[in-house]
Chains A and B, each alone.
Chain A
Amino acid sequence: EDQVTQSPEALRLQEGESSSLNCSYTVSGLRGLFWYRQDPGKGPEFLFTLYSAGEEKEKERLKATLTKKESFLHITAPKPEDSATYLCAVQGFEAAGNKLTFGGGTRVLVKP
Chain B
Amino acid sequence: DARVTQTPRHKVTEMGQEVTMRCQPILGHNTVFWYRQTMMQGLELLAYFRNRAPLDDSGMPKDRFSAEMPDATLATLKIQPSEPRDSAVYFCASGLALSGGRNQPQHFGDGTRLSIL
Residue ranges of A at the interface with B (Cβ–Cβ < 8 Å): 31-32, 34, 36, 41-46, 49, 51, 87, 91, 96-100, 102-105
Contacts and interface: CB of A to CB of B under 8 A. Distances in A.
B106 A51 contact: no
A98 B111 contact: no
B95 A96 contact: no
A51 B102 contact: yes
B117 interface: no
A41 B37 CA distance: 11
A110 B78 CA distance: 39
Given A31-B103, A43-B109, A99 B43 contact: no
Contacts of A51: 102
Closest 5 CB pairs of A and B: A43-B108, A98-B103, A98-B97, A102-B43, A97-B50
Interface residues of B, number: 25
Contact of B56 (A49, A87, A96, A100): A96
**A-side binding surface: helix, strand, loop or mixed?**
loop
A78 to B, nearest CB: 23
A25 B99 CA distance: 24
A103 B45 CA distance: 12
A54 to B, nearest CB: 16
Given A43-B108, A98-B103, 10 more contacts: A31-B102, A32-B105, A34-B105, A46-B106, A91-B103, A96-B56, A97-B31, A99-B48, A99-B55, A100-B45
